[in-house]
Structure 1
């Protein structure tokens, strides 16, 4: 197993991946608890600092870049401070940001998490404030984004469509991108929170259990319902494979010729934060497939990478050496179930 997986990670270097998606700025505003307010029964936080990290599709971009891939980011940002800082963060990771189209009428999508803690307490999220537009994408902006995809995709080894439901991934962008990937015979990986049935014909569909259940109207509560949901998704979307991530239960891959492979979670005892783990999964899947890996091996690597990032707070990434160490630790452990269980 290790002999098969480790060389794939080395081949990630300079693989060219385009990420088309909802580019989100995740802002963490930290405070320390000072007292209870006189105005209302709420805590007063003394400002302690503020950081921004790439979120949503931008986190997928960040993950690809950290894993040594060349990444082309395509999406929409606002003409605002959050957009400028997000572009600067991605450029610092040697990302091509020419596909981030500025829409003056649309704010950069931001998710501001206010966290609080004290010297003897664990820092916790108090509230999250989201800023985004639910208006349809302007036709001129959509045309500019489509033109960038058209001009740049010819140089790519794979594409990720990261749809967080912010109305940037329009039907025209979906259809054009998937058709271009088919014509060029490169993998197209889809992660869509609410509208996965719109992505018919993509190579790989990634969903978590709740998303998959909602998409096909099947309550996933046991092995039977999981199999029914995964097979129905694969059938409706004519995908090469469907990967359903299942939290503490690992992942289940619905592959070609009706094969179903369960990939157990790597380390449930050290989970701190699952934020952004799905972004890591699709980033690794795209890089692995671009490097020539079989779908099942790509999923195993994605599972190992997810096991790395959930041990970190906030939206996080896995470095190549961290991923290699996870592969050595888990798939070299000699566990009888480490290669997955085939459900026939």
Structure 2
């Protein structure tokens, strides 16, 4: 696919995404120099797509002065290690995910393996989920020269006029870039045209938490901006920002009500996930994992709102084994 002009000085380069979703959008920002926003996963076809897109525009990877990563997910940051001659920036909370990519994944997998029995995931399903981390390990490398961006920072040097907007939820440190002069927002995966992104698993917290509440707050944050055009992490750009935000906030409430209504009896995260996503391919480790995280996040929000409560065995009265957590309506 050829690069697409999206706004003044902004070109979108869609690149291959092997994770079964839409192509990843890489944005080339042109000014006194060149900046890439996101780079796609470390995959031979993705690299070829990016090289082809840059070449079409008369550039090569060596011409890039600055790489800004919207968040620490492999489908957006995996090729960062290729740009050794460029300045590399990412949201502060996601910095360890790229600076120490492989160690981060080790810690992440260790935390998930510990959570699975608490979520009621056993047997073959418990063996399937960690396989996803093998794909992640192959999709990126450490980029230890990366530096942090924080709320309110402004891009300087090769490009200017863009300021950093913290939009956590899909990850702890997801950032958007907003240009005040024309209202263009590079929203990454926080705001897509049709898809509600899955919330993050905040595995480093004790106990582990979720990003769904942050996701809701970030939608409200976007609603407070004067946005003329949204440039998302996947899919086409769109202009009806306020309508999209309102729709996704409504969908969030609808999905929470579905989970609440389904808690007719105490249930584990695994049982809720099976009820919410009956069509999930149980052989696809990525799909199984995100349905579990999505279900966990919704259940935790219901607990935060006082609608549900956690019950941990043994002695919970519901037959749960040691350490297994069930949720029930209050």
* TM over 0.5, shorter chain: no
Which protein is richer in strand relative to its size?
A: 1
* TM-score between both structures, scaled by the size of structure 2: 0.30
Q: Which structure would you say has the larger RCO, counting Cα contacts within 8 Å and 6 or more residues apart? A: 1
* TM-score between both structures, scaled by the size of structure 1: 0.29
